[in-house]
Structure formats: C-alpha cells, structure tokens
Amino acid sequence: MDALIELTAEQEQFRAELCELLCQDAVRDEVARSRRLPYGQETGLLDVHRRLGERGLLAVNWPVEYGGRGGTIVEKAILTEELILHGVPDTVHTLGIDIVGLAVFLYGTPEQRARLLPGLARGDTTASVLFSEPGIGSDLASLTTRAEPDGDGWRLYGRKRYSMKTHQSDFALCAARTSAGPVAYHGITLFLVPLRSVGVHIDPLWNLSEERFDDVTLDGIRVTRADVLGEVDDGWQVVNRVLPLERTGIDSAAKADRLLDALLRQAAATGRLTEPAYAQRLLDLDARVRAARLLAWRCVLHLRDGRPDEVDSATAKWYASEVAKELAGLALEVTGLDGVLDARDAAAVADGVFDAALREAPGLTLAAGTSEIMLYFVGTSGLGLPS
Ligand SMILES: Cc1cc2nc3c(=O)[nH]c(=O)nc-3n(C[C@H](O)[C@H](O)[C@H](O)COP(=O)(O)OP(=O)(O)OC[C@H]3O[C@@H](n4cnc5c(N)ncnc54)[C@H](O)[C@@H]3O)c2cc1C
C-alpha cells in the first residue's frame, strides 16, 4: 500500500527510526505491562513518550527551537501510525502535542510558547483538553463554563466532562465564556489552566474503554491574562482552526490496519479465512481499510501543501472511524466470545487486542467530531445540500 503513498527517503528513514525505538524490549515490556494493569489504572505510557521526546521524536513537526524536528505533518502522520501499529495509545500525544501544543504554537504569545512547548516536546509535561460539558459536545458554542472577572484576571466556574488524561496532565486548554451576547460563538475564551491548583477537582468517569474519562469541576480557579490563549472572547476562532487539523482519519485507519492484521491471522489459525461467510467480508474490509488509509493520507498531503479541506477531512475521519468500528464487530464474530477476554486473562485471544478494539470502537465515531456531524459537513459543504 505504501507504493501509493509516496514518502521521501528521509521520511522512510524516519519511520525506520521510530520502529527501531518502538521495538526495543523496554518499550514492548512497558506496552505489555500497561495492558495488564488492573482496570481503571493507566500509565498513559508516559515513559514511552519521554523516550520519544528525548530523541526529538514527539513533536516532530514543530520547529527545533521548541524541541521539535522541523518536520511536516507527514512526519506527524507517520508517528501517529507507528505509535498505533506498535500498540501505544495515541491519546497523550494527540491531546498534548497535536491539539494543545499546536494551539499554543499557532496562537500563543512568545512567552507562552517558550514556557510550554519545550516541556511538551520532551514528554516531561502533558496537557489535556477541557471543552465538552455535561450535555454539550457537538454544539460547543453552547458551553456554560464561565470566567468571572477577578481583579486583573478571572475565576473559572463550571463542569467539564469526557476529557481524557486530565488526571495525568499538568495543564489543560479550557474553553470558558467571558461574555454573553446575541451570537453564541462570540464571548468564548481559551485559557491555559494549571491543573494542580486549588479550585480544580478531578473525578473518574468510568466507561467501556481502557482509558477513563475525567469529570472536572472548576471551582474558582484563578487565571490571568498570561493564561489566555489568543484573544479574549475570540476563542472560537482557535477551536475552529485547531480541531479540524486533528481530523485526518490517520489514527482510525491505523487502528483498523492493526486490527485487520490480527483478525486475518486469527481467521487463518482457526480456518475461518476460507469459510465463504467470513472470507468475503474480510476481503471487503481489507479493501476498505486500504481506502480509509488513502483518504487519510490524501488529507495529510493537502494539509502539507497548505490546502486544508474541511470536506476531505470530514470524509476521511468519518470513513476511517466507521471502518474501524465495523471491523471490531466482525472480530467478535470471527473469534466468538473468547474474543472478549482482555489482556489480563491468560486465555485471551491475540493478547486481548480484539477485546480492546471492541471497547474502544464506539468512541472512535464520537470523539473529534461525531459521524453525523462529519456527514453534515460532507452534505452541506461538499455536496451543496441545504444546511
Ligand atoms: C473517546 C473520547 C474521547 C474524548 N475526549 C475528550 C477530551 O479530551 N476533551 C473534551 O473536551 N471532550 C472529549 N470527548 C467528548 C467529545 O468531544 C464529545 O463526546 C463529542 O463532541 C460529542 O458530544 P456529545 O457526547 O455531547 O454528544 P452530542 O453532541 O450530544 O451528540 C449526541 C448524538 O447526536 C448527534 N448530533 C448532535 N448534533 C447533531 C446535528 N447537528 N446533526 C445531526 N446529529 C447530531 C451526534 O452525532 C451524536 O450521535 C471525548 C469523547 C470520546 C468518545
């Protein structure tokens, strides 16, 4: 498939360098150990991130002065693929580097960049995203968390739900309302909130997947102008620029690729590969996983060329996440109920990879923009249907 995605010799070398690091025994042991932790505990594989950070491999598309490699979004996409293909959850990287770090890089003051980016790039600090609220996800403009003026700063009050890794992070990018007006999008401000502070309470919100959600109460934490990212009241612009850059479908396509590989092995080992009922569907999904990866890479290449395309990005995100979800469902049919034994169980099939995929699958079509919202963009902006 890589023949269709032309990479330079340097980019292939970069992929090889990543593989070499992610195949080291210490990394593989850490990945395996993390999958066997009691339910509800997670390491976030921060050690693995630090190893990458030490070698400048974490924030590859940032300038060298901020701890990056001066690469492009192509190297970033290669990194995401390799993390996932080697079983390293990409959540810490996506949140801290791809969303918060990128937002600081694009909209931060020189002081904010110098203060925050090198630590993120080294993997010494991590960051999370506090956007969603109880009942408010897709329609972010309705958010109710408020920033009340307090001297030369503000105090934040509100509840943020469904964030990931906040309990392990040092700071978060938080959206709050600084003013109310006739237009909902106006009056939202983004704050860089230190999380280990008085006025921040974090509770776990358990869910199906391996990684917990956090339920965060902001109870008067104080922030100042130095913590504002971008302009006061104009955070919507930042949200709209940064979130679509996360939507390339690269992550879901890589997850589907990894799962398909494991599923084909399992089907071959159990004789299912030649059973017509499964063979045709596996063949079909094999073609769709390839298509998902190509759509994702098309999107990455458009971004590389400075031609971001909302419709391409929505198409790739929707398609790749739906294919990954369908594969997880088929995996259960191929493996039978043994497929839902997790990695902690000695009898787990394929080290619990099918169980983990099945539990992660529903979130893929929700996080970073739901499938329905992606199809809305495709329908209205892409096909010109009335909104
Ligand atoms: C794995 C995962 C990780 C996440 N991580 C974070 C995080 O780190 N930080 C954070 O802030 N949030 C996070 N979220 C929350 C995520 O952003 C929201 O779940 C998402 O935006 C959807 O919002 P919601 O859950 O409130 O659903 P809603 O927006 O209420 O949607 C419910 C259903 O209605 C549909 N719907 C909504 N509006 C429309 C419309 N206009 N047209 C058609 N259909 C519509 C949706 O598609 C969906 O099926 C995460 C979610 C998941 C699953």
Give the residue whose CA is nearest to atom 35 of ligand 1: 372
Distances in Å between the Cα of 356 and the Cα atoms of 147, 261, 352 are 39, 15, 6
List the CATH number of the domain containing 31: 1.10.540.10
Q: How far is the CA of 366 from the centre of ligand 1 (A)?
A: 5
Residue 149 domain boundaries:
129-239
Q: How far is the CA of 258 from the centre of ligand 1 (A)?
A: 25
Q: What is the pLDDT of residues 13-51, one digit of tens each?
A: 999 999 999 999 999 999 999 999 987 788 889 999 999
Average pLDDT, the chain: 94
117, 191: one domain = no
Contact in structure between 81 and 250 (CB atoms under 8 Å): yes
Q: How far is the CA of 70 from the centre of ligand 1 (A)?
A: 33
- Give the model's pLDDT for residue 189: 98
378, 252: one domain = yes
Is the residue at 308 inside a domain? yes
State the number of CA atoms in the 13 A half-sphere of 254 facing the CB: 19
Give the residue whose CA is nearest to atom 6 of ligand 1: 163
- Give the model's pLDDT for residue 198: 94
Nearest to 38 by CA among 166, 172, 210: 210
Give the pLDDT band of residue 292 (cuts 50, 70, 90): very high
Q: How far is the CA of 313 from the centre of ligand 1 (A)?
A: 17
List the CATH number of the domain containing 218: 2.40.110.10
List the CATH number of the domain containing 327: 1.20.140.10
- Dihedral, CA atoms, 259, 261, 264, 265, nearest 10 degrees? -110
204, 155: one domain = yes
How far apart CA 353 and CA 255 sit, in angstroms, is 11
pTM, two decimals, is 0.96
Which of 61, 96, 125 terminates a domain? The answer is 125
Is the residue at 2 inside a domain? no
Ligand 1 cavity residues, CB under 6 Å:
95, 128-132, 137-138, 162-164, 363, 366-367, 370, 372-373, 376
Q: What is the pLDDT of residues 211-247, one digit of tens each?
A: 999 999 999 999 999 999 999 999 999 998 888 888 9
- Give the model's pLDDT for residue 262: 96
231, 288: one domain = no
Total number of domains constituting the chain: 3
